[in-house]
Every structure is written in structure tokens, then in C-alpha cells.
Amino acid sequence: MSWGVNWKASVGLLGVGIKYLAVTLLVPLIVAVAYGEDIWVFLVSMALVAALGFAVERVDPDPDLGPREALLFVSLAWLAAAVVGAIPYV
């Protein structure tokens, strides 16, 4: 019995979540198009976030999560959501 956390499983699943976060950047992209704003910021952000998601997912492509790994995943997912949401505005 291991008392540690399988961080690779949490990070691998986080890659999937990050890819979905890249899709959510479509909303500000559509708003920017509607208002005639510069869209390159959102396109570049989407590409970077999607690439990061694919790269991070390769850490563990088939994760097996227990309660500890799930808690780590949720914590990292909230952090990733905040960081990804701030990228276009930095």
C-alpha cells in the first residue's frame, strides 16, 4: 500500500482539462470579432493552451485516479483555469 499521490495521473488528466479550457477561449474570441477588436491575442492564446494541454496529457494518457489524485487534479484544474483565463490579458 502506497501513501503517496500518483501525480502523473492527476497531471495527465489535467492535460485533458486544459484542452477544454482552450475551447472556452472561443467566447471572448467571438465577442472580439463582434466588437471589431484584435483577435490575434485570443487565437495565439488558444493555440498555446491547446498545445500545452496536448503536451501535459502525454504525461499519463490513461490515468487511474484515486481520492488523493482526484483532489490534486481539482486543485490543479482551478489553478489552470485562473492562469488560462488570464493569458490573453497579460
pLDDT of residue 71: 94
Number of C-beta neighbours around residue 77 at 10 A? 18
Q: What is the pLDDT of residue 63?
A: 85
**DSSP structure class, residue 87:** G
pLDDT digits (tens, 9 = 90+) for 14-73: 999 999 999 999 999 999 999 999 999 999 999 999 999 999 999 988 888 899 999 999
- Over the stretch 77-86, which tens digit does the pLDDT of each residue have? 999 999 999 9
At 2, is the pLDDT very low, low, confident or very high (cuts 50, 70, 90)?
low
The whole model's pTM is what?
A: 0.86
